Amino acid sequence: MFLVLALATVPFSYDGALRPGQTLTIRDVNGDVRVRTGDRLAIHATKHAERGDPNAVAIKVENRSDGIVVCVRYPPEANRGCDERRTTQDTSDNDTAVDFDITVPHGSTVNAQTVNGSVDVTNDGTTAAETVNGSVRAEGRDVRSARAVNGSVHVRVLGGGGSLSAKTVNGSIDVTLPHGSGVTLYARTLTGGISAEGVDVQRPRYGPGAHANATLGDGALKLSLATVNGSITLTR
């Protein structure tokens, strides 16, 4: 006897206006978030579930003075706004996941978050990307923050100057910069190693782990890289 699980899917689309310098904030819960740069704002999402009802899960789009906030709300809180706190316990057992595929206009600021899923952002404006359970990949001229708890972090910075904080607990961190970039580096791992050309890596006499503090070139880009269980690699 074979048990066949039907996968219910529901699409979602939103086309709106986001001016250069404004912020698009994505707050997902269960699902992946993918963002790319294009000519205009286009938000596409797919809600899918095995046993839950995707139609009971709401995708909220809120226009604000500084940009747009998009969030996912589960019953019994599906009618509440993105900033409203939960007031009741979720007893719906709704396993719906929401995967986002988004295009933002050039020069937009992106703040992409999920809890259970990966975040993948390529953007020519300011970028922050975060998840709890999943990997983070961010690429752009001004990546400010890339964070995970259980997952790896991969960042490619295309510009110089500014600051980047990349952190995880269980996973590796891999940062790639333009060749010869000036860097002020702070890096620490408790159980892994650090690979960074031209950097004096300090290791404890006994036990695992490593840390490094260094200034390379003009030190224009401030890097803070930290993991507990994983390695750190800096390429420049």
The predicted structure's pLDDT at residue 52 = 87
Q: pTM above the 0.75 mark?
A: yes
DSSP string, the chain: -------EEEEEEE-----TT-EEEEE-SBS-EEEEEESS-EEEEEEEESSS-GGGSEEEEEEETTEEEEEEE-TTSTTS-TTPPP-S---S----EEEEEEEEETT-EEEEE-SBS-EEEEEEEEEEEE-SBS-EEEEEEEEEEEE-SBS-EEEEE-S-SSEEEEE-SBS-EEEE--TT--EEEEEEESSS-EEETT---B--SSSS-EEEEEEETT--EEEEEEESBS-EEEE-
The predicted structure's pLDDT at residue 6 = 46
Report, as an integer, the average pLDDT of 64-79: 94
Percent of the chain's residues with pLDDT above 70: 94
Q: Would you put residue 51 in left (φ > 0), alpha (ψ -120 to 50) or beta?
A: alpha
Of 1-10, 49-58, 146-155, which range is least confident? 1-10
Question: What band does 88 get if pLDDT is binned at 50, 70 and 90?
Answer: low
Tens digits of per-residue pLDDT, 28-43?
999 999 999 999 999 9
The predicted structure's pLDDT at residue 14 = 95
The predicted structure's pLDDT at residue 122 = 98
Report, as an integer, the average pLDDT of 69-78: 94
The predicted structure's pLDDT at residue 92 = 62
Mean pLDDT, the chain, rounded, equals: 92
Question: What band does 217 get if pLDDT is binned at 50, 70 and 90?
Answer: very high
Tens digits of per-residue pLDDT, 151-208?
999 999 998 889 999 999 999 999 999 998 999 999 999 999 999 999 999 988 887 8
Percent of the chain's residues with pLDDT above 90: 81
Question: What band does 9 get if pLDDT is binned at 50, 70 and 90?
Answer: confident
Report, as an integer, the average pLDDT of 66-84: 93
Report, as an integer, the average pLDDT of 99-107: 97
The predicted structure's pLDDT at residue 5 = 45
The predicted structure's pLDDT at residue 20 = 81
Q: Is the pLDDT of residue 1 over 60?
A: no
